Amino acid sequence: MSDFGDFNSDPTADFFARERAVLGQDADFFSSNFETVASPPPSFESNFPKAEHLESSQAFHKAMLPDAEPDVVRQWREKQAEVIAQRDRQEAERKAEVINRAREDIDKFYEEYNDRKQRAIEENRDREDKHVLKRQETPSNIWSSVVSEINITNSKAAFPTRDVSRMKSLLMDLRKDKNAPGTIIISGQ
């Protein structure tokens, strides 16, 4: 058992003893007494005085916060204020021009819209009047008025999905027939 060392001694104390031998005087900084480690060495404050007591720091603070503004800076600020005021005036003028132009465009749009609307109303009335006159001028045969309402010129070209030429030919035949239904009602009136 001599190969494993002496089990009667404290291993922690043995470790600390070896560390103290290696570190020398610096081993006191690593002791378990925390009060000595927390306080800085007393010579630090005496070697470096506080910044408030130095003349250079006061000069630095005065340089950073001047009491009076230099003339160059004051002139620059005044010039910038004038430039900004001029830009604001120009922007206000441009804004007023844009608003006036927009109002004029809106008014022009509504005038044109109302004119087109009025023309469309008049054209619709004229077309309606012509249609009513055309219906009143129809002959006694109702089938003639039906045929006049449909397009009989090119029956196959209008819609290629349906062939309505047969129906149109029947309507044309009814228009020519004197005994077709509908002719009796109109002639009886």
Q: Quick one: pLDDT at residue 43?
A: 63
Helix (H) and strand (E) counts in the chain: 9, 0
Q: Are residues 91 and 152 in the same domain?
A: no
Q: Are residues 14 and 52 in the same domain?
A: yes
Q: Are residues 46 and 92 in the same domain?
A: no
**What is the tens place of the pLDDT at every residue in 65-93?**
656 788 899 999 999 999 999 999 999 99
**Of 67, 99, 115, at which residue does a domain stop?**
67
pLDDT band at residue 1 using 50, 70 and 90 as cut-offs: very low
Q: Are residues 76 and 52 in the same domain?
A: no
Kindly give, in sequence order, each residue whose CB lies less than 8 Å from that of residue 131, ignoring residues fewer than 6 positions away: none
How far apart CA 39 and CA 37 sit, in angstroms, is 6
Q: Are residues 8 and 25 in the same domain?
A: yes
Q: Are residues 51 and 79 in the same domain?
A: no
Name the more confident of 103 and 182. Answer: 103
Q: What is the pTM of this model?
A: 0.39
Domain that holds residue 19: 1-67
Pick the closest to residue 187 from 146, 139, 149, 148 (CA basis).
139
DSSP state for residue 21 in the 8-state scheme: H
**What is the tens place of the pLDDT at every residue in 3-20?**
566 666 777 878 878 888
How far apart CA 105 and CA 112 sit, in angstroms, is 10
Distances in Å between the Cα of 186 and the Cα atoms of 28, 144, 176, 181, 182 are: 133, 12, 15, 10, 7
Q: Are residues 115 and 174 in the same domain?
A: no
Q: Are residues 117 and 145 in the same domain?
A: no
Q: Are residues 95 and 51 in the same domain?
A: no
Q: Report helix, strand or coil for 49.
A: coil
Q: Are residues 76 and 33 in the same domain?
A: no
Residue 185 contacts residue 142 (beta carbons within 8 Å) = yes
Which position has the token pair 């630095």?
60
Count: domains in the chain? 3
Q: Are residues 115 and 75 in the same domain?
A: yes
Q: Are residues 177 and 149 in the same domain?
A: yes
